Amino acid sequence: MLRVTGTGDFEVWIDRIERPFSFSTPFGGSDFALMVVVAGSSVMPAEREVVCAEIVRQGCRYAVCAGHDCPLWEDAIDLAYLATSPDFSPPNERFIMTTQHENESLGDVVEFFRCNTAFDQFVPRRFLVLVVGGAGALAERVHSAIEEAFG
Report the share of the chain in percent with pLDDT over 70. Answer: 100
Identify which of 68, 89, 64 has the alpha carbon closest to the alpha carbon of residue 77: 64
pLDDT band at 42 (very low <50, low <70, confident <90, very high): confident
Identify which of 7, 8, 9, 10 has the alpha carbon closest to the alpha carbon of residue 128: 10
| Rg (alpha carbons) of the chain, rounded to whole number | 14
Domain ranges of the chain: 2-150
pLDDT at 79: 97
pLDDT at 106 over 90: yes
pLDDT at 69 over 80: yes
Please state which of the ranges 2-11, 75-84, 114-123 shows the lowest mean pLDDT: 2-11
Tell me which CATH code domain 2-150 carries.
3.90.190
Report the share of the chain in percent with pLDDT over 90. Answer: 83
Quote the mean pLDDT of the chain: 94
Output the pTM of the full model. 0.95
Alpha helices in the chain (DSSP H): 45-57, 70-82, 106-115, 136-150
The SS3 of residue 57 is: helix
Sheet with strand 97-100: strands edge to edge: 2-6, 11-17, 126-132, 32-38, 60-67, 97-100
